[in-house]
Chain A
């Protein structure tokens, strides 16, 4: 429920184009015989907020580091605007990164940190632009060609700090900033180069809940205002659902599903996605025919079709889609087994003859009460069984 409300608050990008900016083709990565990426194929469009979501060790950070040029893929290609950028070092790539632990330079103050990219660019201007022009085509040069005067750099720094809400912090030392402030400086420092892509590696991980939620909206806001493509790595499904235009769910070096937050949440492709993104009741079922599934001993109407007759399937019912009704009036009868207060809602376990269903509801039920659970055909989501991938 909470998640859905938050999603509604954010108006989706309307100026988003479907032009591919980054294409990952068959990326694999091996560390000392350990395969962490097993063939990643992904297209990221211009102006998109893409989130790589998955548990730790799923390869999401490695994917990001390959895009940023910090790691070389064992095989596969990274295309930027249709051109292979494999041989470009990280300092030549049109992307900038916000690191997990911010990585602000401790011997520089806020202003010097934020200005770092421009200062360096001024020094390298001529050489760098010719290289980029050669590698990526001359349309990327216009912005990078500029040599900035000191006043212009100071102006840009002020503008960036304003963007991240840190006006007047220019002369502060890094060690005097709080975690949230350091986070903002890191974002400003990465954005000042006006990259085509901003890579963010779990940037909100170290912040407390309230600040994290605040930063989620701010990041989304910054992304919309700047029109820069964001690639965001997180293991936090709520973060992913709140901010993204596109979520890429990964596991064990394989992409499980790519889709909008709504797709991922409402139409998970497999058990893993259903479990990882939000809570689910996942039930073994048998697809009798189109629009009819059998589970827990009952034939139940659904909206899914296209499965073969009598195919074994997983039935997903989200906890907030189940209603508790008086005994005899629902699909299955049961007893209220356990009630936990979660703040916005109650989490109630109802024990039926076959299994325990988890239900999220704002109405309190007494433990031990005889009730029934009810859900409609549109609340049921049928997906193929995940056979090959071990849990």
Chain B
């Protein structure tokens, strides 16, 4: 809530002290956004609603792509699987990420810097490479099966299970969970913790009553940042599952790549986009509940 207040004050300052011509510097950026993001989205929207009778002379709008998606059981299963994998990965990221972020926040300056480096370092390497490395590890002849072999366990085809894909997702997106949580934890004032201790709260209670509630905004942004990419990821299931089922990302890719149906692919991506937007909206609403309560009380303040 403090951040909201600050951003308001900054906005006032920025508006009041305009720098002449400064906005012009943003022109290339807006051009890129317009041409490379807004236009394609509009195109996708257009394609999604094109009917199959459309010819070069005549455009026919219809919902048939959407009807086709929802009438296919396989598609719905793919959608459900994608969301399920994303949710499971996000929850695992949270379970691993929160304690880890907590540990980093509590470490000494030196250790903290080292750990942050450790968390972010994998991001310097191409994601494709990292995912491919996992594929090698999970391979029938890979190191994991060799180790299991020493214990007399028969080789397992990990890539035939969701397990491998989930491991890949957690591995790739864990930093996006840790960093925002770590940042909010670091921002919690020491004096809050001290005064809770002072008022008789034991360390465990300080966590549950003070630290956890104050770190919720970080948890929510972490969840958003993991849930969105995992729901649409293409590379990870491509390499870390044997394609024995189609995920929604693969479905979209298939329809665009192999000369398939652009209209249908567009419709699927729009549906997925809509679902994700609803999820994000819900997360933000949850976050704002506290703020809203506060705002209404500010409005009712009477000067004394």
Contact = CB atoms under 8 A, between A and B. Distances in A.
Interface in A94-108: 95-97, 99-101, 103, 105-107
A5 interface: no
Contact of A172 (B2, B197, B201, B297): B297
Contacts of B67: none
B interface bracket (residues with beta carbon within 8 Å of A): 20 to 34
B122 to A, nearest CB: 34
Contacts of A96: 198-199
B195 A103 contact: yes
Contact of B301 (A97, A100, A105, A172): A172
A interface bracket (residues with beta carbon within 8 Å of B): 20 to 34
Contact of B189 (A68, A95, A103, A120): A103
Nearest to B210: A105
Interface string A62-75: 00000011100000
A384 interface: no
Interface in B175-225: 189, 191-192, 194-202, 205, 209-210, 213-214
A175 B296 CA distance: 12
Contacts of B199: 91, 96, 116-117, 120, 189-190, 193
Nearest to A186: B195
B298 A175 contact: yes
Interface string B1-25: 1100100000000000000000000
A106 B192 CA distance: 9
A362 interface: no
B196 A128 contact: no
Nearest to A177: B301
Interface of A: 68-70, 89-92, 95-97, 99-101, 103, 105-107, 109, 116-117, 120-121, 123-124, 128, 171-173, 175-176, 189-190, 193
Interface of B: 1-2, 5, 189, 191-192, 194-202, 205, 209-210, 213-214, 290, 293-294, 297-298, 301
Given A106-B2, A175-B298, A189-B195, 18 more contacts: A70-B194, A90-B198, A95-B198, A96-B198, A97-B194, A101-B191, A105-B192, A105-B210, A106-B214, A107-B214, A109-B297, A120-B196, A120-B209, A128-B200, A176-B294, A176-B298, A176-B301, A190-B199
